[in-house]
Amino acid sequence: MKLLKCSIHDQGYWEVTSNLEPLYKGCRYPIEQLHVNEIWASVPKAVRHMGQDFYEPVKQDIKKNGLKWPIMVVKSTREQLCYQKAKWQNKISPLPFWMAGVDDMQIIQPTVWGGSNRLFIARELGFTHIDCAIIPTFDIAHLLQKTMRESHPQYYPKAMPKAKPTKPPMRSTVTD
């Protein structure tokens, strides 16, 4: 087994310390080592993110410094994944299974909901296993994504300000 360990591997859990989601501050999520080929990456590889190179700088950082945080994984049923696909549509990857019978919809599928690129990098670097923080629901994982990103601002620049909508041109009205 070739494990990509995170910096808090020996601690055995990831604790939310950020103030970005105060409701979850202090919550602890167990770290498990999962096989990289058994985890579904919910989004495709992001070579660029928010207009800047992303994948290669993250890969080089992992090669140099290791994995700071575990990836966030939800152990979901296929049925739950179908719901997420309906909710997020093309923002997430095609589901990792064909639509199947009712019994097959209860099969558990470990799913990355924060760290898909790190999973791709682990595979590319030859790791067989990766540290995963097990998050109970997709909604919680979605909320907590920014707390893990907080320590890596160089990869997540502030969103560009939205352009102000322009007013439609004034129409002149001719009156008699």
Distance CA 66, CA 127 (A): 12
Residue 160 has pLDDT above 50, yes or no: no
Number of folded domains that form the chain: 1
Residue 159 lies in a domain: no
Band (pLDDT 50/70/90 cuts) for residue 62 is: very high
6 secondary structure, DSSP code: B
Instruction: Please give the residue range of the domain that contains residue 31.
Output: 3-115
Would you say the pTM of this structure is higher than 0.85?
Answer: no
Between 12 and 162, name the one with better pLDDT. 12
What per-residue confidence (pLDDT) applies to 101? 63
Distance CA 81, CA 74 (A): 10
What per-residue confidence (pLDDT) applies to 54? 84
What's the whole-number average pLDDT of the chain?
85
Residue 25 lies in a domain: yes
Residue 106 lies in a domain: yes
Residue 163 has pLDDT above 50, yes or no: no
Residue 123 lies in a domain: no
Q: How many Å is the Cα radius of gyration of the chain?
A: 20
CB half-sphere exposure, 121, CA atoms < 13 A: 22
| Percentage above 70 pLDDT, the chain | 81
**Residue 73: which H helix or E strand, with range?**
strand 71-77
CA dihedral over 55, 58, 63, 67, signed as positive or negative: negative
Mean pLDDT is lowest, of 25-34, 119-128, 146-155, for 146-155
Going by C-alpha positions, the residue among 122, 118, 148, 152 that lies closest to residue 43 is 118
Band (pLDDT 50/70/90 cuts) for residue 158 is: low
What per-residue confidence (pLDDT) applies to 147? 82
Write the pLDDT tens digit of every residue in 81-126: 999 999 999 999 999 887 666 668 889 999 999 999 999 999 999 9
92 secondary structure, DSSP code: S
Residue 37 lies in a domain: yes
Residue type, 171: R
Going by C-alpha positions, the residue among 38, 13, 45 that lies closest to residue 27 is 13
Residue 55 lies in a domain: yes
Q: Tokens for 6? A: 């995170």
Distance CA 93, CA 174 (A): 55
Give the mean pLDDT of 118-138.
97
Residue 107 lies in a domain: yes
Residue 75 lies in a domain: yes
